[in-house]
Amino acid sequence: MQDDTLKARGWIESKAMRAEFDADLGDARRTQRARRAGVAVSMAPGLSFPKIFADEASLEGFYRLVENDDVSWRELVGAHATQAAQRAKSFQDILVVHDTTEVSFRTYWPDQIRDGLCALSKGRHGLYVHASLAVTGDGTVLPLGILNAQPFVHASDIAPDDTEKRQFWLDEGGLFESEAERWFQGVDESEQWLRSVGVRPIHVMDREGDSFGLLAWLLNENNRFVVRGQAFRKLQHDGPLQDLGVVAVQLGEVRPNTVPKKDQKAHPPRRSRIARLTIRSGVVSIPRGKGGPRACWAATTWENLPRAIQLNLVEAVETDPPPGEKPVRWLLLTTEPAETAEQALRVVDIYRRRWLIEEYFKALKSGCLLEQRQAETTPVLLRVLALLLPAAWRLLLLRRLADDQPDASWRALLTPLEFRVLRRVVPKAKLTEKATIDQCLLAIAKLGGHLPRNGRPGWQTLYTGWRRLEDLAEGARLVLR
């Protein structure tokens, strides 16, 4: 695990980040400009663009890049996906976590909705982004990068007479026949990237992925998956499920600001806690149902879908929730083996890693300030989004290095020179040769202005401190040459 942490540390160095933006944009100057702009944004994603690009020439070059209609945001995303797939080759098990987030902007006047975006709620307008995040499936929990990102809007939010906006989103692939199609697209794109390097991943989805058409298609394509089933999902099985005992599982925190207001009653905030879960498993049959094509979009015709499919089921139910808390209950439909307690617990652990994409969306919106960017048109916004996707991954990875192995030696995170510089510039941290990753990251956060009384360091302070340490270490290298 320490070797994995050291390897991951190298991914986020400024020199290594150049490859994340090495897109073929049809012109050598544009490609070079994209590489420089992407690295600059990744080094300081919490700043405004005028502050990131301090000199006038660099800022002008950045605006020329994002305002150029010949620059493809898909090519920019593809450069990052290429690197994510290459990183995945080094690990035994790879998960791809899929989910959707809303990206919204304040509407000050009804007629000031940005060109190409749609009204989302009173006082807000924007779009949605469906993303597929590659994650290590064993050992250290490391995000490897985005394999697919599809911005889209609801067709119902576009006025019937607004043919220009409708055509724009059709051209960008962000207007679906059925929005369930985005799940198929995310899986298909991710599979193409990973199978090109010999990796067969496990796809992880929440209850929105519980669609008979999607599950049947995944099976037909021989894809591996863990999908949380709907509470009302109809299942058929012979006899009772096998009782595999009670296990203690760490449940992640669900914060109020991660839950849409309209859903807060159904999905209330939850503090992180150790939960005792009763685990059961068995083989179940899922009938096609009688809803017809409208009830379940599929990659094939409704008539060609099988009448039923068989999957393994792992049921995890919290036995003794805290007072006032609703007990956790997961119905996990999977292709992974689940006959033994060890196998079933592995399925539960795989699903727990789904929350990493929620953290990724926080990094994108809170750490990279996506919803505060002043792009006036949607084409410009999509190119800005493409530049911020790798920056958000870099932020998330830095945070995971702190959370995954806090007690590991500083050598798994820092070079000897960086450690010497950190000890010198943050003497109050009292770092010794036995210092841990956690102690070093708290010292780095102090460089970014973090105060201990404010709790754990946030995205921006941690990142600001890391950038300053890199600058100081680079200066020291130049002096010591």
The secondary structure of 355-415 as a DSSP string is: HHHHHHHHIIIIIS-GGG----BHHHHHHHHHHHHHHHHHHHHHHHHHHH-TTSBGGGT--
- Mark residue 129 as left, alpha or beta (left: phi above 0; alpha: psi -120 to 50; beta: remaining): beta
The mean-pLDDT minimum among 135-149, 231-245, 316-330, 382-396 falls in: 231-245
Count Cβ atoms below 10 Å from residue 337 Cβ, excluding itself. Answer: 13
CA-CA-CA-CA torsion for 76, 78, 83, 85, nearest 10 degrees? 160
Q: Alpha carbon of 302 to those of 181, 306, 308: distances in Å?
A: 14, 9, 12
pLDDT score for 263: 40
- Across-strand partners of 283? 312
pLDDT score for 261: 40
**Alpha helices (H) along 123-262:** 163-171, 181-195, 212-220
Whole-angstrom distance, CA of residue 122 vs CA of residue 111? 13
Contact 438, 410 (CB under 8 A): no
In this prediction, residue 295 has a pLDDT band, given cuts at 50, 70 and 90, of low
- pLDDT surpasses 70 at 180: yes
Indicate the burial class of 166 (C-beta count within 10 angstroms; 0-12, 13-18, 19 or more). middle
Question: Regarding predicted confidence, which is higher, 452 or 256?
Answer: 452
Most confident range (mean pLDDT) of 200-209, 306-315, 434-443 is: 200-209
The mean-pLDDT minimum among 173-177, 205-209, 304-308, 421-425 falls in: 304-308
Instruction: Give residue 85's identity as a one-letter amino acid code.
Output: A
201-226: average pLDDT: 94
252-266: average pLDDT: 43
What DSSP designation does 197 have?
A: T
Radius of gyration over alpha carbons of the chain, in Å? 23
Domain 7-206+354-387 = CATH 3.40.50? no
pTM metric for this prediction: 0.86
135-160: average pLDDT: 92
Q: Tell me the backbone φ, ψ of residue 282, rounded to 5 degrees.
A: 175, 175
Q: Which fold has domain 406-480?
A: Transferase Inhibitor Protein From Tn5; Chain A, domain2 (1.10.740)
Structure tokens given for 264: 């807060």
Structure tokens given for 471: 């600058």
Mean pLDDT of the chain: 86
Whole-angstrom distance, CA of residue 151 vs CA of residue 129? 4
- Distance, CA of 271 to chain centre: 21
pLDDT score for 264: 40
Count Cβ atoms below 10 Å from residue 274 Cβ, excluding itself. Answer: 8
Contact 462, 441 (CB under 8 A): yes
pLDDT tens per residue, range 188-205: 999 999 999 999 999 999
- Mark residue 448 as left, alpha or beta (left: phi above 0; alpha: psi -120 to 50; beta: remaining): alpha
pLDDT score for 252: 57
The mean-pLDDT minimum among 265-269, 349-353, 384-388, 422-426 falls in: 265-269
41 Cβ partners below 8 Å, 6+ apart?
49, 52, 387, 388, 391
Contact 370, 387 (CB under 8 A): no
Smallest CA-to-CA distance from 81 within 186, 214, 216, 233 is with 186
Domain residue ranges in the chain = 7-206+354-387, 406-480
pLDDT tens per residue, range 335-355: 999 999 899 999 999 999 999
- Across-strand partners of 286? 309
Whole-angstrom distance, CA of residue 208 vs CA of residue 6? 36
Smallest CA-to-CA distance from 131 within 103, 99, 105, 154 is with 99
